[in-house]
Amino acid sequence: MALPWVQRVELVLFAAAFLCGAVAAAALTRTQGSFSGSCPLYGVAALNRSSLALSRPSAPSLCYFVAGVSGLLALYCLLLLLFWVYSSCIEDSHRGRMGLRIALAISTIAIFLVLVSACVLRFGTSSLCNSIVSLNTTTSCSEAQKIPWTSWLQFYSNLHNAENSSWVNLVLWCVVLVLQVMQWKSEATPYRPLERGDPEWSSETDALVGPHLSHS
């Protein structure tokens, strides 16, 4: 059985959300690795002789949370995509009301988590950049990552890519939630049985007992 068009669009959005989540998780993990495992978000930079150092990093769990949220949601999108592709090709593909209810709950939770992650990336990166600029060695974070004596290779580009991917991911999940709500409302339309005054009732009774009996 072919999937409904709404669910096909939903799967395309899940594929895009998988890419965004994977990019965000990989970019942040790479950045944390360049800081020797320390979390640079909301960190404070300082000059250590002739090199730039992270004097007060955030707890590593903060970066683990953001990267974990992005990675787990990306994995969920990938597994869901593979499941529905397999189901539509091999088995009877239909999502019942219980499955749709679970999907709505997961999408709502995902939107909240992605929103929190995007905000942490936005304000955490801004705090780090303000700390670097306050040292008066450079005018911006994008310029600071080009300085030869820093070991934070492409740290700003990675954090910026992670943030942008998170915001795009948030939009995708919001659209997914809207589509799921549309499906929920379409399936929740109550069924009204036919009555004698309905044209459908007259046509059915004419076919069964004849026009004379049905209108007598």
Question: Comparing 7-11, 22-26, 66-70, 158-162, which segment has the lowest mean pLDDT?
Answer: 7-11
- The whole-number average pLDDT for the span 96-122 is 92
Q: Say if residue 15 is exposed, middle or buried (CB neighbours under 10 Å; 0-12, 13-18, 19+).
A: middle
Spell out the alpha helix ranges (H) of 91-188.
Answer: 97-133, 141-144, 155-187
Identify whether the C-beta of residue 159 lies closer than 8 Å to the C-beta of residue 34.
no
Whether 90 has a pLDDT exceeding 80, the answer reads no
Identify whether the C-beta of residue 138 lies closer than 8 Å to the C-beta of residue 132.
yes
Listed in sequence order, the residues at least 6 apart from 97 whose beta carbon sits closer than 8 Å to its beta carbon are 184, 187
pLDDT band at 188 (very low <50, low <70, confident <90, very high): low
Identify whether the C-beta of residue 6 lies closer than 8 Å to the C-beta of residue 182.
yes
Find how far residue 147's CA is from the centre of its chain.
34
Q: How far apart are CA 74 and CA 21, in angstroms?
A: 5
Q: How far apart are CA 208 and CA 95, in angstroms?
A: 35
Q: What pLDDT sits at residue 39?
A: 92
Q: Which residue has the higher pLDDT, 202 or 173?
A: 173
Whether 203 has a pLDDT exceeding 90, the answer reads no
Q: Could you tell me which of 167, 4, 165, 209 has the C-alpha nearest to residue 87?
A: 4
Whether 192 has a pLDDT exceeding 60, the answer reads no
Whether 204 has a pLDDT exceeding 50, the answer reads no
Q: Which residue has the higher pLDDT, 42 or 89?
A: 42
**Assessment of whether the complete model's pTM goes beyond 0.95:** no
Whether 191 has a pLDDT exceeding 50, the answer reads no
